[in-house]
Every structure is written in C-alpha cells, then in structure tokens.
C-alpha cells in the first residue's frame, strides 16, 4: 500500500470506498456520511494538496484522509496552535480491508511524515468515544474534551516520530 496525494482520477474509487463505508455504518445503526458523499469525493480535486489516499495495488483506494498544517480554531489552546503540528481529519477507510488496518496505516504514516518534516506533533479530533478508543490504539492520547453547541469533541495528539512502516502491511511512505 502507498500513501499519496489524491488526484481527480481517484474520484470513482473514493466514491466506491465511501459508499462501502456508509453501508457498513448504516448496517450497524450508526450515522454515515451519505449526505456528504459528493463533497467527500470532490476532495480529490482539492488544490491545496492536503487530501491523501491510501492506495492498494489490488483494490485501489482503500483510505482517504485530510492532512493539514493548520488545525481548527476551536479545541486547541493558543499555545498549542502556535506549535507546529499536522492535523488529521476526515479519515475514511474501506471496510473490506479492515483486517489490514488501513486507518492505523494512515495515522502512522502521518506520525512518520511529521517527524520527517520536523513537525513535533500530530493532532486530530473526533466526535465519538469509540473512535477515541480506536485512536488510542494508534498511540494518540486524549488531550481534552470540549462541548460544542451540538456535539462533544475529543481532542487528541501524538508526538511525531520516525516509524519503519515497511513491515507494517507493506506500506510505502509515499511522497514527502
């Protein structure tokens, strides 16, 4: 598998992957992104180049994630926002390859990428406690919880570090 910037040609595979994830969530009675499907697929054409995909030689795109150098204006202190960090959001993976842990591959790739770029932190947030538990398995720690108008946010962080991803599911580091 390889992490690389998303391109317009990825749209059909991203659409297939997001639809599969939506169906997987809906079968479990969980909220899906079906209403945002068009927007999620359109991210492949993001001119900022901050949308990355995890591509598998056999299955095509099996993950998509937004990786930004600036986080949201909420949830982090002024001091935290002043520190360099990569911010992860919008991680979506193909449920058909769950056993290969594509979400973990993408998160660990970002941790390694941040270290290679000399960025000390990788930060993310989520809205669901089950996702907090999952992100903890990837080495992220809960920094704080914040109640927004209609949603509870869980702010998480992990120190950047160089990781050898070659043996982890055969992940290549992609473009740095």
Residue 6 lies in a domain: yes
Q: What is the rounded end-to-end Cα distance, in angstroms, of the chain?
A: 15
Residue 164 lies in a domain: no
Residue 64 lies in a domain: yes
Indicate whether 49 pLDDT > 80.
no
Residue 118 lies in a domain: yes
From the list 128, 151, 65, 91, the residue with the least C-alpha distance to 142 is: 128
Residue 171 lies in a domain: no
Tokens of 48: 């900022």
DSSP state for residue 33 in the 8-state scheme: S
- For 12-44, how does the pLDDT look when each residue is reduced to its tens digit (9 = 90+)? 999 999 999 999 999 998 888 889 888 888 888
List, in sequence order, every residue forming a beta bridge with 5; answer none if it has no partner.
Answer: 52
Tokens of 18: 């997001």
The number of folded domains in the chain is 1
- For 105-134, how does the pLDDT look when each residue is reduced to its tens digit (9 = 90+)? 999 999 999 999 999 999 999 988 889 999
Q: Where residue 139 sits, what CATH number does that domain have? A: 3.40.630.30
Residue 170 lies in a domain: no
pLDDT band at 174 (very low <50, low <70, confident <90, very high): low
From the list 52, 13, 10, the residue with the least C-alpha distance to 172 is: 52
Residue 167 lies in a domain: no
61 by DSSP, 3-state: which? Answer: strand
Residue 48 lies in a domain: yes
Instruction: Burial-class residue 30 by CB neighbours within 10 Å (0-12, 13-18, 19+).
Output: exposed
Indicate whether 154 pLDDT > 60.
yes
Domain that holds residue 98: 2-159
For residues 23 and 47, which has the higher predicted lDDT (pLDDT)? Answer: 23
Indicate whether 1 pLDDT > 90.
no
For residues 129 and 157, which has the higher predicted lDDT (pLDDT)? Answer: 157
The pLDDT assigned to 158 comes to: 97
CA angle in degrees (0–180, nearest 5) for 58-67-138: 70
| Radius of gyration in angstroms for the set of CA atoms belonging to the chain, rounded to a whole number | 16
**Longest distance between any two alpha carbons in the chain, whole Å:** 44
Distances (CA, A) of 63 to 6, 126, 131: 10, 17, 16
């Amino acid at each position: 598998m390889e992490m690389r910037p998303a391109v317009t040609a990825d749209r059909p595979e991203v659409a297939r992957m997001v639809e599969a994830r939506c169906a997987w969530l809906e079968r479990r009675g969980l909220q899906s992104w079906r209403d945002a499907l068009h927007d999620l697929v359109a991210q492949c054409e993001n001119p900022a180049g901050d949308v990355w995909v995890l591509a598998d030689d056999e299955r095509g795109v099996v993950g998509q994630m937004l990786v930004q150098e600036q986080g949201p204006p909420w949830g982090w202190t002024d001091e935290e926002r002043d520190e360099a960090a990569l911010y992860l959001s919008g991680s979506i993976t193909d449920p058909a390859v769950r056993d290969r842990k594509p979400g973990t591959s993408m998160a660990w790739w970002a941790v390694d990428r941040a270290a290679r770029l000399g960025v000390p932190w990788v930060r993310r947030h989520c809205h669901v406690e089950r996702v907090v538990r999952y992100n903890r398995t990837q080495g992220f720690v809960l920094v704080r919880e914040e109640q927004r108008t209609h949603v509870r946010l869980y702010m998480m962080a992990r120190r950047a570090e160089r990781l050898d991803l070659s043996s982890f599911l055969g992940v290549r580091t992609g473009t740095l």
